[in-house]
Chain A
Amino acid sequence: MNGTLLEIGPPAAREERSGFEPVVVAIVCNWCTYAGADMAGTTRRAYPPNVRLLRVPCTGRVSPLQVLKAFEQGADGVLVSGCHPGDCHYVHGNLVARRRLAILRALLDFVGLDARRFHVSWVSASEGVRWARVVETVTRAVREAGPLDAWSPRDGEEPVRLPEPPPAPSPPASPEEQEAVGRNLRSLAASLLGEGRVTVFLGYGEATLPGRAVPLLATDLAEASALVWNDRCHSNLAVYLAGPNRVPGKVAVVLKACDARAVIGLQQEGQLRREDLVLVGVRCPGVREEDGRLALKCHACDGEVAAGCDFTVSADGVETGAARSAAPRAVAPDPRDAAIAFLEGLPPARRWAFWREQFDRCLRCYACRAVCPLCYCGTCISEHHRPQWIPASIGPRGNASWNAIRAYHLAGRCAGCDECTRACPARLRLDLLNRRLALEVERRFGYRAGEDPSAAPPLAAFRPEDPQEFVHA
């Protein structure tokens, strides 16, 4: 027998020679796919043994934590499979799951755990043959993607460099203008506190280092006189309106356009009572980094005060309600989108290399979580021990899981204030993860976070016609 004959042997023989047998964890629903896999058995339809099934009642039970855990524990691929839309034993569990899985898949793909590793399919109880075919396709794809063994940056690997962001589309506000805004804020705070309409005025004060600003809680006129406004007023003060940092009482809060989206998100999720708040919108000229560059989030923002604010404060004075200016700030394309497009233009392996290097630097200090208004959970999922979905110690796998689940939990909720990124001492580009998922949510579900306090959160809703191009046909 010669070598060429071996080449055209049965597929099994060829695969064994390649030496790599992928491990694929399949999380399947009890009623359709598990029964479909049983059907494949009953009809003796053979398929690759690489797939190992985990039975859950419904794909609605599937959490991204499970998928991340499977990858982290050594799976080279994950398949989630349930009932066809309309056939769910639990009415619509699969339709809710479809949205979650679409977002998870976008996230995994963006970090470079690409479409060859994470699969979704619908297989009914009668589709044994289809199940076998799905397993064959998935196994082939995972085999092609290769072992998922590299979680830390490899020695000698060339780092991925993001393109330089473009210059700011608008000039900085003059010190006089900024001071005028500060003055107007102080007078508004004085009247609100003086009339007893609020017990706390939450704004910005001068930091110990000159030219910087820190949150300031003014409870009387004297404290209110220390309020300032400048382009270093980075903090999203919505973080003090809900969750563990919540400021009690009747609170007036100074909000930039991005901060206001977080307030709407909190209201939507029942985390604050609008009647306890006075929303003070500031017409924002954009905040600047330490080196004076305009923050990336501000390039595409016109700085106008969000609808629903009770006051609009600008250099010109204080107006009641959300008032638009005559000449909004000039805007440019969002430079974060350019960075995302650049990363998506790279092969998955390079994206994975970029994010491995990013995640490797994570110190697990959770500053990102602390400054995020929407991370209001009393105990974060990352701090649960039974079970410990996210490994607590610093390490490449746990870091990846933590950063992935943080981004996933903000999908459809993130206000885009980028405070997580600014607060990160390791300078992880969390803004790109958040922004990528926000774009995915908008593209798929036509939803933008922080606009309508009465809207259903997109990942707790579904439409029967939601796109499902990612599901195995």
Chain B
Amino acid sequence: MARIGVFVCHCGENIARTVDVARVAGEARKMPGVAFATDYLYMCSAPGQKLLAEAIAEHGLTGVVVSACSPQLHEPTFRAAAAQAGLNPFLCEMANIREQCSWVHPSREAGTAKACRLVAAAVEKVRHARPLEPAGVPVTRRALVIGGGVAGIRAALDIASAGHEVVLVEKQPSIGGNMARLSETFPTLDCSQCILTPLMVEAARHPNIELLTSAEVEEVGGYVGSFRVRIRRKPAYVKPDLCTACGDCASACPVSVPNEFDRGLSWRKAIYIPFPQAVPATYTLDANSCLNAKQESATGYRVLACERCAEACDRQAIDYDARPEILEREVGAIVAATGYELLPRGSLEEYGYGRYADVVDGLEFERLLSASGPTEGELRRPSDGRPVRDVVFVQCAGSRDPRRGVPYCSRICCMVTAKHALLFKHKVADGRATVFYMDIRAGGKGYEEFVRRVMEEERVLYVRGRASRVVPHDGELVVFGADTLSGQPVQVRADLVVLATAMTPAPGDLAARLRIPTDPHGFFQEAHPKLRPVETLAAGVYVTGAAQAPKDIPDTVAQASAAASKALELLSRTELRREPTTARVREARCMACFECARVCPYKAVAVEEIRDREGKVVRQVAAVRVAMCEGCGACVGACRTGAMDLDGFADEQLFAQIEALARREAA
């Protein structure tokens, strides 16, 4: 006989203001199987949990229902409390009467009535629950870090230094990410390369880090603790152990294409090194621009149109016949740090972004400022190479502008622009810098002071208002805008316009492969902004850096270490307790149609042969490989005979819940 305890939480005023909690507890007392019901101010507080534990002992409860907030918030809390009091945690359920009742139904009468139904359904679920024991699964003590920008490098180093192996996968031929493009970083004006390069080298040299560049994650299988990852690695066509990065091949190469690292402001050869400090410091042949790329003969033999790089290479490191590699790795945890991009060129038409050569984005301006950039740090116009004297900076170019760009604030642009203006004034002392801004959001440590300094000491003119458009005039640019403080329209002549374009997530479908949700803008969604900021809803998958939301380098690095520490928490264990909510077959009912196996996303349903005493196969039945089952229940939905069931969401439970929910209360 079930003896269920029902605990109705007031959540301060959050529930009690609209739901008559005492009445809900009173109704609960009349429900079948309920031995005890009460209401309490804060069930999740220490006294609340104590109340729960004491009631379990005092009333000999065989199950509990906590009627409070969403189970996504506190189910683990109350299940742990129940377990501590000696109850199987799966005999504890929550009725969500806050998020799905008191917060959305202003009517006290209707809200209380609905709360009673929700409690009744939860009581039914517990009444038909079975105690479940989590299964132990071994943890593969290796991590995968996706993305070799500063976030990925930091996370990889932290995990590797703690003694675990790391597979670091980077799409580009070199790690470093967007930060490698930066000239100096705010607010300290450290040289970006000086901070980043040592980390890049350390990551490449670390005995625990396997660095895979020009590689992408193609498929992620398995589950927390033992993911199976398939990685596709593009060939470099250059044997890394032979390449000394002497550059003879590039000198010999007849093909020039825009250099992506300089965002097209310079040229590179088809065989190239992305930038001098690249890690790994070896050359890569870009198969898309190499003359040999299109030379497949009809007979199937490869025809080489040009072998100049191979001829130039003393060490014979060039290998035109290299093929893409598919690598399989087993990992226990995954950190996704795929970073950001800027709004695509051509998106902000009124500014001529992508149309006028002298309208550049922030990363292009960084390259123009950088000592290792296309102009070696001398500030010249991309269009004609003339020195730059007047620069107009446009903040919020696409940010906070749902109509033309994105609705969110990209967070770094106020500081980036201030830094740009300062660096410009340091290079061109008599130059004129004008900044169009909406507000200044300089919320970091030392940030506000930095912006003040730029405004006041560097004599940068800040104009409060949006720039409306940029038009070319006589070989120069004119920026039209409004000074909203004086209420006057303004026109500013410029040699160069720098747009603080919005940050957007890196494109691709990695989130789908990792089975993690994204927010409406495509940034990875954290499990909870405050409680689980670097975890995702997929256990064992962590997010960090600008892939989660726009953020600056200090925040990125801090978050990367946070993600690494969460991954380490997982990797520090040899075994994980796995949720026992997995599918189960009642063999006697199985008719072996195997539709369950067809719909299972995890190939967790196997064919089991039932044999007689002589070992002859009598019949086949479906069998669930528990370690691979994620507990989605698609197999149960497919099963016509009712042979499949899902522990934790069993047919008997759902049946009883539906009865409780569908019932119309007496008027």
Report which A residues bind B (CB closer than 8 A).
12, 23, 25, 30-32, 34-35, 37-38, 40-42, 44-47, 49, 52-58, 60-63, 66, 69-75, 86-87, 89-93, 96-97, 100, 124-126, 132, 243, 269-271, 376-381, 384, 386-389, 409, 456-457, 459-461
Contact = CB atoms under 8 A, between A and B. Distances in A.
A35 B72 CA distance: 8
A89 B591 contact: no
A289 to B, nearest CB: 31
B72 A38 contact: yes
B662 A62 contact: no
Contacts of A52: 114, 117-118, 121, 661
A456 B655 CA distance: 30
A199 B96 CA distance: 63
> Which 9 residue pairs across A and B have the least CB separation, nearest first?
A61-B633, A41-B99, A60-B634, A90-B632, A387-B655, A73-B662, A91-B601, A41-B103, A460-B598
A34 B658 contact: no
B17 to A, nearest CB: 12
Interface in B53-110: 70-72, 96, 98-101, 103-107, 110
A399 B538 CA distance: 42
A384 B639 CA distance: 13
A87 B517 contact: yes
Interface in B510-547: 512, 515, 517, 519-520, 525, 537-538
Interface string B649-661: 1011011111101
Contact of B520 (A37, A61, A126, A389): A126
A73 B70 contact: no
In this complex, which of B104, B114, B117 has the most chain A Cβ atoms within 10 angstroms of its Cβ? B104
Interface in B594-611: 594-595, 598-599, 601-602
A378 B106 CA distance: 51
Given A57-B649, A74-B664, A270-B592, A46 B634 contact: no
Contacts of A409: 640
A391 to B, nearest CB: 12
A90 B520 contact: no
Given A49-B111, A52-B114, A61 B634 contact: yes
Interface in B173-202: none
Given A55-B71, A89-B515, A89-B538, A73 B594 contact: no
A87 B517 CA distance: 7
B658 A44 contact: no
Given A49-B105, A125-B517, A25 B637 contact: no
B497 to A, nearest CB: 35
Interface in B408-424: none
Nearest to B598: A460
A373 to B, nearest CB: 13
Interface in B258-299: none
Given A41-B104, A57-B581, A100 B637 contact: yes
21 contacts: A23-B664, A25-B661, A31-B517, A41-B101, A41-B103, A42-B99, A47-B104, A49-B107, A57-B581, A57-B631, A61-B634, A63-B637, A73-B662, A86-B512, A91-B601, A126-B525, A381-B642, A389-B651, A409-B640, A457-B595, A461-B598
A5 to B, nearest CB: 21
Interface in B621-653: 630-634, 636-638, 640-642, 646, 649, 651-652
B593 interface: yes
B104 A96 contact: no
Contacts of A271: 591-593
Range, interface on chain B: 35 or more
A70 B652 contact: no
B105 A74 contact: no
B342 interface: no
Nearest to A386: B652
In this complex, which of B111, B661, B663 has the most chain A Cβ atoms within 10 angstroms of its Cβ? B661
Contacts of B592: 270-271
B634 A90 contact: yes
A53 B100 contact: yes
In this complex, which of B525, B633, B634 has the most chain A Cβ atoms within 10 angstroms of its Cβ? B634
Given A57-B631, A60-B637, A73-B659, A378 B591 contact: yes
A32 B632 CA distance: 13
B100 A37 contact: yes
In this complex, which of A12, A34, A58 has the most chain B Cβ atoms within 10 angstroms of its Cβ? A58
Contacts of A30: 72
Nearest to B520: A126
Contact of B636 (A37, A61, A457, A461): A61
B312 interface: no
Contacts of B599: 60, 96, 460
Contacts of B636: 61, 63
B358 to A, nearest CB: 39
Contacts of B469: none
A12 B107 contact: yes
A317 to B, nearest CB: 38
Contact of A34 (B72, B512, B517, B598): B72
B591 A376 contact: yes
A269 B639 CA distance: 12
B589 interface: yes
Nearest to A380: B641
B482 interface: no
A131 to B, nearest CB: 9
Contacts of A63: 636-637
Contacts of B98: 41
A30 B663 CA distance: 23
A37 B104 CA distance: 9
A461 B595 CA distance: 9
A425 B657 CA distance: 36
Contacts of B70: 34, 38, 41
Contacts of B121: 52, 54
B113 interface: yes
A372 to B, nearest CB: 12
B649 A38 contact: no
Interface in B228-252: none
Contacts of A45: 104
A402 to B, nearest CB: 14
B649 A384 contact: no
A54 B651 CA distance: 13
Contacts of B525: 125-126
B634 A73 contact: no
Contacts of B654: 54, 56, 66
Contacts of A66: 654-655, 658
Contacts of B581: 57
Interface string B13-50: 00000000000000000000000000000000000000
Contacts of B602: 91
B543 to A, nearest CB: 15
A467 to B, nearest CB: 19
A82 to B, nearest CB: 11
A24 to B, nearest CB: 9
B104 A54 contact: no
A456 B594 CA distance: 11
Nearest to A62: B637
